[in-house]
Every structure is written in structure tokens, then in C-alpha cells.
A and B are shown apart, each in its own frame.
Chain A
Amino acid sequence: MKSKRSVELWSVRELPALAFLIIAVAVLWIKIPSFRLEVNLLATAREMAIAGIMGCGMTMVIITSGIDLSVGSILAVSSVVMAKLMVDGTPVWIAILAALVVGLILGLVNAILINRFRVPPIITTLGTMGILRAGATLFTHARCIAPLPRALDVLSTGYVPLLMLIGIAALSTLFLTRTRPGRYVYAIGGNEEAARLSGVSIAKTRTLVYSLNGLLASVSGLIIASSMSSAQSNVATGYELNVIAAVVIGGTSIAGGQGSVPGTMIGAAIMAVLYNALILTGVPIHWHKVIIGGVILTAVLFDKMRSLGRK
């Protein structure tokens, strides 16, 4: 009986990351009074929401054994388009809708390049990463677009980002675990050839996943634009690596076929809490990258140890 339970414990992918998160939060809660402040917790939650919402899409992409390096650039394009529309006097909700559509379409473009023209995902999105970032800069003439209407502020106030994250994460989890296309996502990541031979439409599944990923990037863009009350073309540069790190820390395998949205949420929380802790404890900013690199590696090693322990 006892051994059975320990086997079950080992089989929980997210366990090491969750344990790390709980310990980290507990230590910070006790040791650093300013961590406990509501303002600080909400700011950390907002950072977590920004990475976590993109992480939901990225998790799906990585489960199909793909990758998307262009999310930061998609975010930039959709938020500058939205800001321009708002500044030009378009109603706020139409501008938000436009941003979401832009994100969706850009994700679709990635999918078309990958499906139709058989360009590997890492190359496609490396290319679109550069092209879209440049596009955003050309669109804004490298100027900051501000101020945005106050109506947008609600998206980054209080618990709103966290609630958005919870809603999107719940929907993504339902999609991945309870629907047929969701299971196809795991199937093509596990063995693409076998999935194809069993009648799974790889192109359709991939199109869905990359489009959703683009859409979710633009949602994160809304929160960033709202909290800054402005949009500029270099927003979220290099953010793709943060998102990928959150996904990987959460136990999703880059090799595809395995992974979960709750794991990614834990990963996003770890990244947000860690950055927050580094800032609160006054660690020089140059050490941040060294520490984040170490954490990514440690998380992956823990995951390896866990799978060895299960064997």
C-alpha cells in the first residue's frame, strides 16, 4: 500500500516545481515583510498572469513538439495596432477586438508557413520574430503611443489579471484534457506518424494550436498595454524565452507529447516570485540572469530525477 502511494507521488509531473514554489513563497513570506504587502503580491500576480497566459498557448505548442519564438513580437504588433486605433478615437472594445484578431491572424500565418511550406517551427518563428518586431517598429516609427484611454486600465487593476489567467488556464486545461482536438495535440507530439496514420489531421491541429498561441500573446499584450497605459514596439522583447522557461520549469517536455497547463502555471508563478524576490532582496540586476539560468537547469534536472525515480 505504502509503495503504491509513493509511486503515485512520483508520477505527478508538477510535484517538484510545486514543492519549490511553496517553499520559496513560505520563506519570502516569513523573511521579507514587503513581500506580504498586497501591492507587491498583486504586482507579482500580474507578472505571473502575463507570462502564464502566453504560457497556456506555448504549452500546447510545445506538447505538439513545436516551438514559437515569435510570441513577444506578436504581442508587440497587436498592442501597437490596438494603441494606434485607440489614439485615433476608435471605441475601446473595437480596438481590443482588433488586437485579438491581429494576434490570431499572426499565429495563423506561422501555422500556414509550418504546414503548407514545411518550414520547421523554430525557423518559421525565428523568421517571423524578426519580421514582426521590425514591422511593429516601422508601424510606430519607434515612438511610444500614449496615453491610452482610462477605460483600458481595468485590465491591469487588482485581481483582474489573475482572474483572466485563471479563466484562460481552466479553459486551456479543459481543452487539452477533455476534448478530442486536445487529445490530438498530445497525439501528434507523442508520435506524429502514428497520429497521422490513425486519421488525426496534423495540419488542422497545428493550425488551431499556433492560432490560439497568437491569440493568447495578444491577450497578454492587453494587460501590459493597460498597466503601462501606453504601447511601444520594443515591448516584451526576449519575452519568448521567459515563457518557454516557465513552460519547461512546469514539467512540459520540449520533446513533445507530455506536459500540462497547471504545470506551466506553477512555472510562471516561480518565475514571477523569483524575479520579485531578486528585486526585493536587492540582488544586483546582473545576477538575475545567472540565477534564472540556474533555476531553469535545476528544474529540468529535478524533472529528470523524478522520471528516473518512477522507473
Chain B
Amino acid sequence: MRSLIRAKESVVLLMFIVVFAAFAVTTDRFASVDNLLNIARQYSELAVVAVGLTMIIITGGIDISVGSIVGLSSITLGVLAGQMHMNVWAACAAAMAVGLLCGTLNGLVITKLGVQPIVATLAMMSAARGLAFVLSGARSLADFPDSFVGLGQTEVGPVPFIGYIPLSVCLALLLAVCGFVLLRFTSLGRMIHAVGFSEEATRLSGIGVVKVKVFAYSLTGLLCGLGGIMMTARVASSVPDAGNGFEFEAITAVVMGGSSLRGGEGSIIGTMIGVAVMGILRNGLNLRGVPNTWQVLFLGAMLILAVLADNLRVWMRSRLESRQQALEPSKAEA
């Protein structure tokens, strides 16, 4: 119980269990392996992007341009491979480079020019989305070689009990593990936390705050590029408004997962569960025939509920700690 109160992922885990149980009981098609894998496939791109966004939010920043960067890199791929018939793998590399470039630009504008993250990425959100429309002429592009489109349908396995797992899901899980290891076990990960916890103290201890921040934004840009490629492969076409609204879904997932927008704390595991909650909520409501409008309403409510529940958890933790402190002197006397 105590460790549950301490862990920042407990709120989102509880939400996951409640939502999952509710749909499993009320909808007969929901809890099938096929349906769950389908959700995982659809939400793997969001998961990839959310790994990077978690790091940005831990540094105390925010990035609302992720959806637009996903769209721009998807269109880059579409224009180069679909329209100009360039080698599809070279086009993928170009798409990821575009994502990386956008992310690095965000990071440099924020650190070198001292522009607030929300303003810098607001400008990028507008500019990248606009460019996606300009480059594509507002058309969707679909003329990809089979070798690439097949990638979106490739499955790995068989894994015992589950069967075949989509390649994109494996990729997302792999990246989540890498992100987890990076944040938990490397000095870079500790620096990311330190920057968010106290930027001034971090700077005074001789850590390159600029480098750490630029790394977080660049990595997120790169992951957005990858997300754009994954989305293009999944739907076998690239559309200029790909990833529209991604920023809000990703921020919701990260915050539900227990990361604080004040910076300094956050968890990749929490974020992944947050993405899963989002996925099963959307899917379950779809299966029950709930219109999209109501889904948006539910998501908004879940977001606020998650933060309220987390406040409750922090309050319980502080009570727990003060009680322990009260107990300890009496032990010493005894």
C-alpha cells in the first residue's frame, strides 16, 4: 500500500485497470487478443512520440509541435518516395532528418535565443503544419513500393499466449525500454531530471543545461520523424494533416502517467500506461458506438481526474511521511 502511494505510476495504473475492466465486462469484443493488438498497432506512433515528450516535460519544457512534425515528416516521405520515386529507404532517412532538424531548431530557439518553450513550439507547430500542406499541395500521397507498405503489416512471432505482434509495436516497446534505461541508469538521464528540478543549480554544478535541453528536443523531433514513417507505413499513404491533435493526446498521456509539468519528475512507464489508457478508452468507446464528441469529453475529464488523483496521492504521501517522522523519535527514546 505504501509503495503504491509512493509510486507516481499508481494513479494511471489504477485508471488502466478500471477502464480495462469496465470495457471487458460491458463489451464482448473488447478483451480479445486481436482487438488489443489492433489498439497497440494504432497507438504505437503516439507511444514513440510520447517517449521523447516525457523527457522534454521532465526538463520542465513542453512541445506542442509534435503533431505537426509527424505530419511534415510523413509528407517528406510521401513527396520523395511516392511522388519523385526516390529510393524509399533514403526517403525514410530524409523524413527522420527533417524531424531531427525541426526538433533541433526547437531546442536551439529555446536555449540559445531564450524563447519560452510553448511559444517556440507554437511557432513550429504552425510552420511545420503549413509546410506539410505546401509541399503536398494539400493532397494525400500514396504510391509507395510494396516492400515499404508491407512493413506496416509485418508481424513478429509467434510469441507464446499472444501470437503475432506487429513490428511497430515491438519498435515502440524497444524505444520505451531504451528511454527508460536512459532516464534511469545513465548520467544523461540524471542530468535531464536535474535540469527540470532546478535549472540554476544544475548550471552552477557545471552541467551543460543547453546541451541537455537541445538533446531532449532533438530526440523528440527524431522520434516524431520515426512516428511519421510508422504512420505512413500503417495507412499506406501520407496525408498533410497526419498527426493532427497528436500534441494534445501525447501531453495527456504523459501527464496522466504522472509526469509533472513543473519538471523534475516523470516516468516512461507511466507514459506508456497513459498511452494505453488513451488507446483502450478510444477503442472501447468506439466498440460501444459512442460518438467521437463524447470521447473527447471523456478524455478531457480523464486528464483532469488524473491530476486530481495525483494531488491526492501526493497529499497521502506527505501525511504518511509526517506520520513516520512522528514515530521515529519515539523509537529512538525506546
Contact = CB atoms under 8 A, between A and B. Distances in A.
Interface string A112-155: 01000111101110111111011101100010000000000000
B113 A127 contact: no
A142 B293 contact: yes
B308 interface: yes
B255 interface: yes
Interface string B99-124: 00000000001000111101110111
Contacts of A127: 300-301, 303-304
A103 to B, nearest CB: 18
A304 interface: yes
B285 interface: no
Nearest to B299: A130
Given A131-B300, A134-B293, A286 B115 contact: no
Nearest to B64: A241
A300 B126 CA distance: 15
A67 B130 contact: no
Q: Report whether over half of chain A's contact residues are helix, strand or loop; otherwise say mixed.
A: helix
Interface range on chain B: under 10, 10 to 19, 20 to 34, or 35 or more? 35 or more
B124 A293 contact: yes
Interface string B52-64: 0000000000100
A293 B122 CA distance: 7
Contacts of B251: 126
Given A117-B308, A131-B300, A248 B133 contact: no
A126 B248 contact: yes
Contacts of A130: 248, 296-297, 299-300, 303
B55 to A, nearest CB: 18
A289 B301 contact: no
Contacts of A39: none
B311 A120 contact: no
Given A120-B262, A297-B115, A134 B297 contact: yes
Contacts of B300: 126-131, 134
A138 B130 contact: no
Given A126-B252, A127-B300, A290-B134, A138 B127 contact: no
A253 B126 contact: no
Contacts of A120: 261-262, 307
Given A142-B293, A297-B120, A290 B126 contact: yes
Given A120-B262, A290-B127, A304 B304 contact: no
B314 to A, nearest CB: 9
B131 interface: yes
Nearest to A136: B293
Nearest to B295: A134
A249 B311 CA distance: 35
Contact of B296 (A67, A134, A297): A134
Nearest to A254: B116
B261 A123 contact: yes
B122 A245 contact: yes
A254 B252 contact: no
A286 B122 contact: no
Interface of A: 67, 113, 117-120, 122-124, 126-131, 133-135, 137-138, 142, 241, 244-245, 248, 253-255, 284, 286-294, 296-297, 300-301, 304
28 contacts: A117-B307, A119-B311, A122-B118, A126-B303, A130-B248, A130-B303, A131-B296, A134-B293, A134-B296, A134-B300, A241-B125, A254-B116, A254-B118, A286-B137, A286-B138, A287-B130, A288-B130, A289-B129, A289-B130, A290-B126, A292-B130, A293-B123, A293-B130, A296-B119, A297-B109, A297-B119, A297-B127, A300-B115
